Amino acid sequence: MGVPRKVVELKRVVITGIGIVSPLGIGKGPFLEALLAGRSGVRRIERFDTTGFPVEIAAEVRDFDPLVFIDKKWTKRMDRYAQYGAAAATLALDDSGYPIAEDPYAVGALIGSGVGGLDTFMEQTGVLLEKGPTRVSPFFIPMMIPNMASACSSILLGLKGPVNATCTACAAGTNALGDAFSIIRRGDATAMFAGGAEAAVNQVGMSAFAALRAISSRNDEPERASRPFDAERDGFVMGEGGGVLVLEEAEHALRRGAHIYAEFAGYGMSGDASHLTEPDETGEPAAMAMTRALVDAGIDPAEVDYVNAHGTSTPLGDVMETRAIKRSLGVHAGEVMISSNKSMFGHCLGAAGALEAAATVLCMEAGKVAPTINLEHPDPECDLDYVPNVAREAEIDVAMSNSFGFGGHNAAIVLRGWHG
């Protein structure tokens, strides 16, 4: 006989807090303002000397002081990516006003990262080669591993509920949000601090992605380098940052009078099962993730108002996503608004999905769609409405956000305006 399974009533889940550390600014206000203005955060790299590097541009987080958010002792034990994640979690807490002390075992953290502590890995490998194995820091491993944005946020904020991390390359942030949604919906937590964090703009990260021929080498025009769906795109631009959303069980949010941005309605995943770095060109597996998210939300494709595209600005990826949207939404694909935030803040890898979900929610509330900037020469194979160059006034009731990661990880989430 099979083991009896617990039958639970699925909870409704809402978003009640947003924390942002990004190349467009720190905090939700500056972030949204830059998005709607179509302002690029891509510049020549300032963090290190790029002499000899084939790519000299990136979307770096500027004016970030970890001591504003984190005790000095802790900053020394955290890689930059974990600092971004914990800072975003702190901002999300401030925004939501969630009463953690009410029941710390009912609230957890799930913050993904595609790469983890690359700064620490590079630095400590240098120590090993120059000074020998006895000089390697005892904090090397706990600073490097990709679960530490979640772990440190849990420790610093006192979150004793489910604490986990996703590491699914560029889909990590979206998978983290979806997994946190699932945890709350089945009743295993009342709230989750969920999102993604990444800090791979360093010598190792830039060299590695340049070797893959994945990133743009438009060094003389940094602000025009990230150009999703444009015929002259030549690769993505590296970005970095952290995005954390407070996901909360709807009834709890209502009882405490929380501000509700939107309802988290559905989540879908799939795998390409095809290639280490290239997407399945047919778009079929990616479309399956989108369709599963819609089915999970109980939403018909014709109800979708907006798609926040993965939109990396890579030759294969943008065509694949266009095909996937057409497969999933059918005839409605030609009517839906689509845009790529990566045109402005680059590809933040494991943080991308979280920042893009936050952007989607903020745009829903503002009644505007952020544009895809630098879309000057439309690719004939990318023939949908990508809201080129200028933000658009629009009522968004149902939105989808897509993320696709190396290794064939596909994830999509569906958000809906809160109607009580």
Task: Report helix, strand or coil for 420.
Answer: coil
Tens of pLDDT, residue by residue over 197-224, are: 999 999 999 999 999 999 999 999 999 9
The span from the CA of 143 to the CA of 125, in Å, is 13
Is the distance from CB of 185 to CB of 132 less than 8 angstroms?
no
Q: Is 347 a catalytic residue?
A: yes
Please, which residues have CB within 8 angstroms of residue 88's CB and are 6 or more apart in sequence? 19, 20, 21, 195, 197, 241, 242, 243, 244, 354
Q: Is 332 a catalytic residue?
A: no
The span from the CA of 196 to the CA of 114, in Å, is 9
Tens of pLDDT, residue by residue over 10-34, are: 999 999 999 999 999 999 999 999 9
300 pLDDT above the threshold of 50:
yes
Q: Model confidence at 375, in pLDDT bands (50, 70, 90)? A: very high
DSSP line for 31-77:
HHHHHHHT----EE--SS--TT-S--EEB---S--GGGTS-HHHHTT
5 pLDDT above the threshold of 90:
no
DSSP line for 126-150:
HHHHHH-GGGS-TTHHHHHSTTHHH
Q: Do 13-255 and 267-416 come out as alike in CATH topology?
A: yes
Please, which residues have CB within 8 angstroms of residue 409's CB and are 6 or more apart in sequence? 168, 169, 170, 171, 175, 269, 271, 403
Mean predicted confidence (pLDDT) in 57-62: 98
Question: What confidence score (pLDDT) does residue 241 get?
Answer: 98
Mean predicted confidence (pLDDT) in 311-323: 97
DSSP line for 295-324:
HHHT--GGG--EEE------HHHHHHHHHH
Question: What confidence score (pLDDT) does residue 7 get?
Answer: 52
Considering only CA atoms, which of 171, 182, 247, 181 is closest in space to residue 401?
A: 171
Is the distance from CB of 320 to CB of 279 less than 8 angstroms?
yes
Is the distance from CB of 265 to CB of 300 less than 8 angstroms?
no
The span from the CA of 95 to the CA of 15, in Å, is 11
Mean predicted confidence (pLDDT) in 357-373: 98
Which parts of 182-324 are beta strand (E)?
191-198, 241-249, 262-271, 306-308
Q: Model confidence at 41, in pLDDT bands (50, 70, 90)? A: very high
Catalytic residue among 152, 167, 252, 347: 347
Burial profile 374-394: b = 16 or more Cβ within 10 angstroms, e = fewer: bbeeebeebebbbbbeebbee
Share of the chain above pLDDT 70, in %: 98
Inter-helix orientation angle 172-185/352-366, to 10°: 70
- Side chain identity, residue 87: A
Q: Model confidence at 360, in pLDDT bands (50, 70, 90)? A: very high
Question: What confidence score (pLDDT) does residue 420 get?
Answer: 77
Question: Which pair of tokens denotes residue 121?
Answer: 């890995």
Considering only CA atoms, which of 358, 356, 365, 354 is closest in space to residue 338?
A: 356
Question: Which pair of tokens denotes residue 165?
Answer: 């991390």
Mean predicted confidence (pLDDT) in 146-156: 98
124 pLDDT above the threshold of 70:
yes
Tens of pLDDT, residue by residue over 243-260, are: 999 999 999 999 999 999
Residue 120: Cβ within 10 Å count: 24
Q: Model confidence at 8, in pLDDT bands (50, 70, 90)? A: low
Question: What confidence score (pLDDT) does residue 1 get?
Answer: 39
* In CATH, 267-416 is 3.40.47.10: yes
Mean predicted confidence (pLDDT) in 365-386: 97
3-state helix, strand, coil in the chain (%, to 5): 40, 20, 40
**Is the pLDDT higher at 303 or at 5?**
303
Model pTM score: 0.96
Q: Is 170 a catalytic residue?
A: yes
277 pLDDT above the threshold of 90:
no
If you average pLDDT over every residue of the chain, what do you get?
A: 96
Considering only CA atoms, which of 400, 312, 357 is closest in space to residue 88?
A: 357
Considering only CA atoms, which of 413, 420, 418, 419 is closest in space to residue 194?
A: 413
Query: Scanning the structure block, which residue is given the tokens 């064939």?
Result: 408
Domains of the chain, by residue range, sit at 13-255, 267-416
The span from the CA of 59 to the CA of 75, in Å, is 22
Catalytic residue among 167, 170, 348, 363: 170
Q: Tell which CATH classification among 2.40.128.50, 3.30.1330.120, 3.90.950.20, 3.40.47.10 matches the domain 13-255.
A: 3.40.47.10
Question: What confidence score (pLDDT) does residue 23 get?
Answer: 98
Question: What confidence score (pLDDT) does residue 39 get?
Answer: 98
Question: What confidence score (pLDDT) does residue 221 get?
Answer: 96
